[in-house]
Amino acid sequence: MTAAHPPRCACPACLRRPVRRAFLPRTLAAGLAALLLAAATPLCALAAGAHSPPVAGPPELTAESYILMDAATGQVLAEKDPDSLRYPASTTKLMTLALVLEGCGGDLTPQLTVSESAVTAVGPGSSSIFLRPGETLSLEDAVWAALLESANDAANVLAEHAAGSIEAFVARMNQKAAELGLQSTHFANPSGYHSEQHYTTARELALITRWALTVPGFAELLGGVSHTMPGNPVHPAERQMLTDNRLLLDDPPYPGLVGGKSGWTPEAHFTMVEAAEREGRTLIVVTLACPRKADRFAGCAALLDYGFEHFVPVQADAARLGLPPLPVVCGGERLGEVPLEASAELLLPEGDTGPLSARYLGPPEYDPDLPFDGQVAVYAGSGRLLAVLDAVPRQSVLDNLLQARKQKPPWDRRGLQPIVLMAFFIAAGAALLSQGALRFDALRRDAARRRLGRLRAGGLARIEQLERAHGEETSKAGQENSPEDASYPTRLR
């Protein structure tokens, strides 16, 4: 029986090394090979280059789309097809509840009356607490019904209370989506009842949740487990409401869970949004189009575990990122340069130990009179995009530049100096041209006078010459005339 060959090192240096047969007895050769292998493995690692531990990847989920996001910065820690259009089902009510809380300012005491339109707008087969037209309930009861029981009738009542009609409230939902910069979200109702015109993406649903968590009272509401709605003349019996969020109902609940909202329709399948907070950091997870109900809870827990356990905080600021200064231009005048500031505590994957890098995204110069929309893309050492942060000019430096500009006299400002200089040169040129024209005119007149003088002098000389010649001719003629004619003097005509 032939002895088995000892295992080879898996490093590139050893994989390229050919296998050599030993001429020693097989047993001794095997022992020596094992010793040599144990000693050579560290050397092979050095020869191949020491590598940092691999970065842990996210867990495998059955959801067709998911995303894990840091609520503070919007940094995406894990994602799968996050930008495909999906039906959100009842996770829509996160937007509905946040808008209602924002509008009421935390006052949940108003009494609401159920209208006929709120009841008839409930789609067939959808979840409800069977409200009836004319029934009254408090705003607080309607909020808990929409969250815990996912009641579509309660969502419609809330919409009419907040905006006057369901249609007006849906318009407000879409307006808020536009304000949040969402490009792939459109709402057709406040409940999430299926419609081809009612859709979003995992990424944009996470951004909606990120905004909703900033609305006062929303985070506390999201963590609710149960609520009792008192009876009324239309419905005398109490209504007991209980969440279906398994991460809240587990004993103990998921560590640090803020709360969440589930959803389901035949077209959307199972959907879920959860938020959890540990050590001052809140993570948001969205799973869409899960094939089984249990998958959405298990998937959210696995992604939250991954985010809390495999990322370390790192401070990203202007000094660490090496952001270049930005030219400041005001009214066509370059005032100088201002440093950019961008700061956030980001989450770096374990094992990705390289230095951070950044790339500026924004206008090439800063004009204080115009809105500034500068951003900085921050990358890990591996080249992985961590986050896109807002960049702003350092205010103290900017104030000094603007103050120095105000203290300059108007003629000394670079914006006016070219105009002043141009005007000066134009005036000087005009003066020189005027002087030249006057001098030329004087020379022309002087030359004309001299020429006229020469002409006059020449004319007088010619006249005198003619008179002399005429006098001589007259004199000769007088001598040839008769004596009696001589007694008459000759007149010059």
Measured CA to CA, the distance from residue 391 to residue 366 in angstroms comes to 11
Residues 6 or more apart in contact with residue 341 via CB below 8 angstroms: 317, 318, 323, 391, 392, 393, 394
Measured CA to CA, the distance from residue 73 to residue 246 in angstroms comes to 27
Best CA proximity match to 141, nearest among 241, 52, 71: 241
Best CA proximity match to 215, nearest among 79, 71, 301, 99: 99
Partnered with residue 261 across adjacent β-strands are 273
Measured CA to CA, the distance from residue 280 to residue 345 in angstroms comes to 11
Partnered with residue 376 across adjacent β-strands are 360, 389
> Could you list the active site residues?
90, 93, 150
Measured CA to CA, the distance from residue 277 to residue 410 in angstroms comes to 56
Q: The tokens of 265 are what? A: 């329709």
Best CA proximity match to 176, nearest among 210, 221, 144: 210
Q: Fill in the amino acid letter for 256.
A: G
Residues 6 or more apart in contact with residue 481 via CB below 8 angstroms: none
Give the distance from CA 86 to its chain's centroid.
24
Residues 6 or more apart in contact with residue 423 via CB below 8 angstroms: none
Place of tokens 């309607």: 142
